[in-house]
Structure 1
């Protein structure tokens, strides 16, 4: 029962954080992609994203330039997430598959906010199950914090369960970020966006490049 309450609380907090983040949105901006989005980030799209250095599923250190070398959908979460992350990532990879059917290639990327448990090996097993091209990234606490701050992604690690020190939850925001080579951050998607809605919006951005 304690775990169920904790899980429910984490889900509510994630939704609240999403709502807080959305309060920073304004109207359409004057840019080449204005016709593709209904809103823009306060401060401009350039205020989201930036350089990062993380560790991929093979244990190799990679940079944002290496990872985001093609259009990508980036999501922050963790493999031990009980409900939200698997559902969001399943939707993201469904969108990637639908885009492939239309002739567009987009890379799905998953950045862990739980470096203690999400080793490269753990990430590889998790991502391979969801999609063969889903790229999992982890790193040191400092590396993950840097990437999260660049994308304004919130996360907070809870204390371990009293009866199981290896069990704990991580609250985190649940946005998916569309990035484009040469442009950087272009758009975000909320949890209630469907795969079909994402596909149409991503295609608009890709056609407008």
Structure 2
């Protein structure tokens, strides 16, 4: 996938570092259908993860240490996505719920990769969603809210609409860039606009399985069937 320049990505509210093509890891790539019919090779599991610094929809800090002690199914995309993200997020939520109900504690996590500028009073939403106009009111101590704060509140509402079982991570451009690099998310701006969602971001659609030790154990895709995703997590847990 060809990535746009930094200036091109800035136009849609996110800065992502170009990533070199990642080859298959002979010792540990997703065993779920090879590339799953996708035209890009999955990165090596050993290359994924590391230090991150984000906030969740409640405004609480979220770092790599928040992954410890349980399994996490992590999907990276953006709130306005109307194609891959709704399917991926729905499957991740359903899988996490089924696994937790069976006694294997699993959290569904969504990383929002569209990071607005600090002075972007639309929160990177480009004014397409009038329901979030109330978020323009002052924040703490009467100070204006920043673009990331406005977007975080919108993400909180979005998560509630999905049942409230989804941990949604967002942040400043610097924070999002660091997380995108840690998980080798590839993205490119598509300036074709959608009346509802604004400019599009084409992005990779991996679902990362993170184990209780904080390491990435396996990869799925947004369109991996629910039963296959659940079975994959169970298989990873059986290996310890």
Instruction: With the length of structure 2 as denominator, give the TM-score of the two structures.
Output: 0.66
Give the corresponding residue for 2:76.
76
Alignment of 1:64-103 (within 5 A): 64-103=64-103
| Change in 2 beyond 3 A, CA 1:207/1:176 | same
Higher helix proportion (structure 1 or 2): 1
- SS at structure 2 position matched to 1:156: strand
Q: Deviations over 1:43-86 (max 9, x none)?
A: 85321111100121122332121255521011101111112101
- Does structure 1 residue 193 correspond to structure 2 residue 192? no
Give the corresponding residue for 2:52.
52
Residue 159 of structure 1, CA deviation: 4.1
Q: Deviations over 1:101-149 (max 9, x none)?
A: 3221100000001122371111111122224221001111111111111
| Change in 2 beyond 3 A, CA 1:197/1:129 | same
* 5+ residue gaps, structure 1: 1-19
Aligned mate of 1:123, from 146, 152, 155: 155
Q: In angstroms, what is the RMSD of aligned CA positions?
A: 3.0
Residue 208 of structure 1, CA deviation: 1.9
- Does structure 1 residue 155 correspond to structure 2 residue 187? yes
Aligned mate of 1:142, from 156, 170, 174: 174
* 5+ residue gaps, structure 2: 1-19, 35-40, 117-123, 126-150
Check the 8 A contact 2:96/2:106 in 1, yes or no. yes
Count of matched residue positions in the alignment of Structure 1 and Structure 2: 182
